[in-house]
Amino acid sequence: MRIAVVCAEALTRSVAEIILTGAGHAVVPASSMHEGLVELARASTRGPRIDLLLVDGALPAAEATVLCHATLASDAPWAIVLANDPEEASAALAAGAIEVVAKPVMRDVLLASLERVRPYLAPSA
């Protein structure tokens, strides 16, 4: 699976990248909403496809919402949001996230979440 990890916090982004690559996934890192949208656009025009977005709920609320809406408005991937608290989790789900994972990111929890959303992804994922 090819996963874009959109997270302003370098440590959280690195931890997610280590977990995901260790499980055999390709990771496209992005440190901001702008970078995430650029990567989505690049993948949709030139490939290869991004199968899923992993978005940090600690991004400003408007940015996380824009990323979730971007996934709903295209054939782009679904979004899983990393959240610090119930308010972030609720906002993420309202914006269209398919799932929320609590921070700090735990390997088993993140990988279980990926397995739960796999049926909703394109067949190539």
Domain that holds residue 35: 4-104
Asked if residue 118 belongs to a domain, the reply is no
Preceding peptide of 77 cis, ω within 30°: no
Q: Count of domains in the chain?
A: 1
Q: What angle do CA 104, 108, 109 make, to 5 degrees?
A: 55
Q: What is the chain's mean pLDDT, rounded?
A: 83
Is residue 43 in some structural domain? yes
3-state secondary structure of 75: coil
Residue 116: inside a domain: no
Q: Is residue 12 part of a domain?
A: yes
Whether residue 123 is contained in a domain is answered as: no
Q: What is the pLDDT of residue 70?
A: 65
Q: Which of 18, 22, 25 is nearest to 2 (CA)?
A: 25
For position 27, which CATH number holds? 3.40.50.2300
Residue 89 lies in a domain: yes
Q: Which residue has the higher pLDDT, 7 or 18?
A: 18
- Flag whether 122 is in a domain: no
Give domain status of residue 120, yes or no. no
Q: List pLDDT tens digits, range 39-82.
A: 888 888 888 888 888 888 776 656 666 666 666 555 555 777 78
Q: Closest by alpha carbon to 72, among 86, 87, 92?
A: 92
pTM, rounded to two decimals: 0.85
